Amino acid sequence: MDFANYIEPKTPAPLKSHWLQVSMNGKVYIPHLYRIRRRWFQAKEIRTLDLKRHGHAHCIYHLIYYLEGANSILIDDQPVAISSGQMVLIEPNVFHNVIPREPTDCSFLTLMFTYQCGEELLSVNFGQLLEQLTGYPIQPPRIIQDGKGALRHLFTTLEKEVMGTAEEDLKRVGYCLAGLFNEILGNSLRSDHLKPVPEDILDVKRYILTNIAQTITIEDLIEVSHLSRSQLIGKFKQYCGISPINYLIEARIDKSKTYLLHSTKRIKEIAWLCGFQSEYHFSKTFKKRVLMTPGQYRQTGPA
């Protein structure tokens, strides 16, 4: 797939997988692919945008996964903070504006779909939709945490492997949509047994994502969190699965991938923009984590 492009059928393309169909009021509704798209915003671009122009509502389901950075979007006229590793659910006919509101670099992938019976569009919320599909009465949260990376895998599969709107491509979309529904359901059913990520850890994540090009030390993160060194490392691992420094490195690598695929910037400049001390340090770290050099990744894309 050409990573600069996105999929948007001239008319929404039906996903005919029977397990995705919903029966309501004597009618059978099936999902239709509306759009798969990656968006990448730089801080300088966001500063020039007229954010009021982009607010709207329509009878379309949105699933938005933040790949990198931290920012906020508008849902129901309220700002909603979102950061890397989170997915936002936007239901039909809800006013929203997904253009980032803060002048901070970020990127995200969007899957948009409708549920239709002929030309008639379904507009129930995600909880009602999933209850019809699974039989479980749930009300999922607006933001889903991607604790194990399953959501990222499904979204990047959509971006990498869906080449168009042929039958086989739409089957792949259907498989991924079913997987996303499954993750939403599982997250919602587990939510009663999971402790939310504490605000001090969220503050550390936001600080890392919004200052990624700067030098960040463990002392900076201690100051942000108001925790001791051992408390910070232990608590961060408890809720995020990795240490804060490893999280910082992963965030820098993710940001560099976007520059490599979506810009013509030199590798030395990308290293600097992503907070690496030198091109050598960047290349060495990238190869260790991604198993290919930055140049190879730019030529071939994700493995």
Letter string b/e over residues 137-153, b meaning 16 or more CB atoms within 10 A of that residue's CB:
ebebeebbbbbeeebbe
Question: How many alpha carbons lie under 13 Å from residue 6 in its C-beta half-sphere?
Answer: 16
pLDDT value for 284:
96
Judged against a pLDDT cut of 50, whether residue 4 lies above it is answered with no
Q: 190 pLDDT band (50/70/90 cuts)?
A: low
Tens-digit pLDDT profile for residues 63-95: 999 999 999 999 998 999 999 999 999 999 999
Tens-digit pLDDT profile for residues 160-169: 778 777 888 8
Please state the pTM of the whole predicted model. Answer: 0.76
Domain 13-193 has CATH 2.60.120.280: yes
Q: What is the C-alpha separation between 1 and 259, in angstroms, rounded? A: 17
Average pLDDT over residues 155-164: 82
Average pLDDT over residues 263-290: 93
Residue 93 Cα to chain centre, angstroms: 21
Tokens of 13: 């393309």
pLDDT value for 193:
45
Tokens of 114: 């409708």
Average pLDDT over residues 226-248: 91
Q: Which residue pairs from 77-85 have beta carbons closer than 8 angstroms and sit at least 24 positions apart in sequence?
A: 80/142, 80/143, 81/206, 82/143, 83/202, 83/205, 83/206, 83/209, 84/205, 84/209, 84/251, 84/254, 85/145, 85/146, 85/149, 85/152
126 sits in the region (left: phi over 0; alpha: psi -120 to 50; else beta) called alpha
Question: How many alpha carbons lie under 13 Å from residue 158 in its C-beta half-sphere?
Answer: 30
Q: Is residue 109 a contact partner of residue 65, using CB atoms and an 8 Å limit?
A: yes
Q: What is the C-alpha separation between 45 and 25, in angstroms, rounded? A: 46
Q: What is the C-alpha separation between 84 and 75, in angstroms, rounded? A: 18
What are the Cα distances from residue 280, in Å, to 29, 254, 255, 276, 287? 54, 17, 17, 9, 11
The third-level CATH classification (topology) of the domain covering 199-300 is Arc Repressor Mutant, subunit A (1.10.10)
Q: What is the C-alpha separation between 33 and 288, in angstroms, rounded? A: 37
Domain ranges of the chain: 13-193, 199-300
Average pLDDT, the chain: 89
What are the Cα distances from residue 90, in Å, to 128, 142, 146, 158, 287? 14, 7, 17, 19, 37
pLDDT value for 24:
86
13-193 and 199-300 in the same fold: no
Of all residues in the chain, the percent with pLDDT exceeding 90 is: 61
Tens-digit pLDDT profile for residues 25-37: 889 999 999 999 9
